């Protein structure tokens, strides 16, 4: 059974940093691209970043470049999102999702990040 | 402001049919496959339709997808109260090198 479990969310002050993790099981992690997608309260889905199975190809939403860093550890079956210089508008539920040729076919349950003083 | 355009809400009675539109341009829907995701209240999105019209595993044939030019449509027949959810369209945008989504459509089953 495919499972994706996010962790690392919480309350952080503006300007602070946070690192999200996504632990996966049930499939060959290194052969799939992975994505982070976020959803602000009451809003639609917003794609954040994607990384190829090897970690070589990485893409970011233009609005986030320079502040967020996606990475993965295939030996640990884990995906990460390092978030720096956080702002109030980064408050959202962050989902990790498996990528099968640009189809996000499995999603985690989400991790809430709240940026507030 | 989402790259893809969806109506904020649609409604229909149980047993009826509803369609949800998703509009884009040649950089996204026009030249890439479209997926649809269902998000039940308080839960994570779930893949419903991929490659424009293929149902994901376990999805009943009441759900269908189509694409024409730079627009895509999700159809749901035999509406059930359990279908009340937010529905999101998504695709790759070749100009932005990014996954793009619509703003989501809330389906209300009256």
Q: How far is CA B33 from CA A27, A97, B15, B51, B103, in A?
A: 24, 18, 29, 5, 18
Residue B59, both tokens: 């999805």
Average pLDDT taken over every residue of chain A: 96
B35:A104 CB<8 A: yes
At B39 the pLDDT is 98
CB distance from B38 to chain A under 8 Å? no
Q: Which of A101-105, B86-90, B91-95 has the lowest mean pLDDT?
A: A101-105
| Mean pLDDT value of segment B61-80 | 97
Give the number of other CB atoms < 10 A from CB of residue B97. Answer: 12
Confidence of residue A102 (pLDDT cuts 50, 70, 90): confident
Q: Which residue in B32, B45, B101 is closest to A107 by CB distance?
A: B45
CB distance from B51 to chain A under 8 Å? yes
Find the helix or strand (DSSP H, E) in which A103 lies: strand A103-107
Residue A65 pLDDT greater than 80, yes or no: no
Chain B environment of A106 (Cβ under 8 Å): 47
At A101 the pLDDT is 85
Q: Which of A62-76, A78-92, B11-25, B71-85 has the lowest mean pLDDT?
A: A62-76
pLDDT tens per residue across span B29-55: 999 999 999 999 999 999 999 999 999
Chain B environment of A47 (Cβ under 8 Å): 90, 98-101
Chain A environment of B43 (Cβ under 8 Å): 109
pLDDT tens per residue across span A36-58: 999 999 999 999 999 999 999 99
Please name which of A5, A50, A1 lies closest in space to residue A24, comparing C-alpha atoms.
A5
Percent over 70 (pLDDT), chain B: 100
Q: Do residues B19 and B75 touch, judged by C-beta distance below 8 A?
A: yes
Residue A63 pLDDT greater than 90, yes or no: no
At A64 the pLDDT is 87
Residue B96 pLDDT greater than 80, yes or no: yes
Cβ-based interface (< 8 Å): residues of A facing B: 35, 37, 43-47, 50, 59, 61-62, 95, 97, 102-110
At B70 the pLDDT is 97
| Mean pLDDT value of segment A2-18 | 97
Do β-strands A103-107 and B46-50 pair in parallel, antiparallel, or remain unpaired? unpaired
What is the tally of helices (H) and strands (E) in chain A? 0, 11
Percent over 70 (pLDDT), chain A: 100
A45:B46 CB<8 A: no
A44:B101 CB<8 A: yes
Residue B98, both tokens: 């990014």
Chain B residue with Cα closest to A108? B44
Give the integer Cα–Cα distance in Å for B59 and B47.
9
Residue B2, both tokens: 């989402």
């Amino acid at each position: 059974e495919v499972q994706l479990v996010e962790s690392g969310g919480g309350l952080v002050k503006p300007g602070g940093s946070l690192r999200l993790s996504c632990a996966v099981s049930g499939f060959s992690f290194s052969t799939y691209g992975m994505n982070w997608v976020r959803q602000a309260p009451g809003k639609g889905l917003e794609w954040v970043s994607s990384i190829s199975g090897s970690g070589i190809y990485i893409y970011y939403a233009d609005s986030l470049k320079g502040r967020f860093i996606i990475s993965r550890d295939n030996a640990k079956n884990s995906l990460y999102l390092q978030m720096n210089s956080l702002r109030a508008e980064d408050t959202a539920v962050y989902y990790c999702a498996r990528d099968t040729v640009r189809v996000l076919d499995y999603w985690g349950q989400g991790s809430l990040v709240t940026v507030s003083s | 402001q989402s790259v893809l355009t969806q109506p904020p809400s649609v409604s229909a009675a149980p047993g009826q049919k509803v369609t949800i539109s998703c509009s884009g341009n040649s950089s996204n829907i026009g030249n890439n496959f479209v997926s649809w995701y269902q998000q039940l209240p308080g839960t994570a999105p779930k893949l419903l339709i991929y490659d424009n019209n293929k149902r994901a595993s376990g999805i009943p044939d009441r759900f269908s997808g189509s694409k024409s030019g730079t627009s895509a449509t999700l159809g749901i027949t035999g509406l059930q109260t359990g279908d009340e959810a937010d529905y999101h369209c998504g695709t790759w945008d070749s100009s932005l090198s990014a996954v793009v989504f619509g703003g989501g459509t809330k389906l209300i089953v009256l």
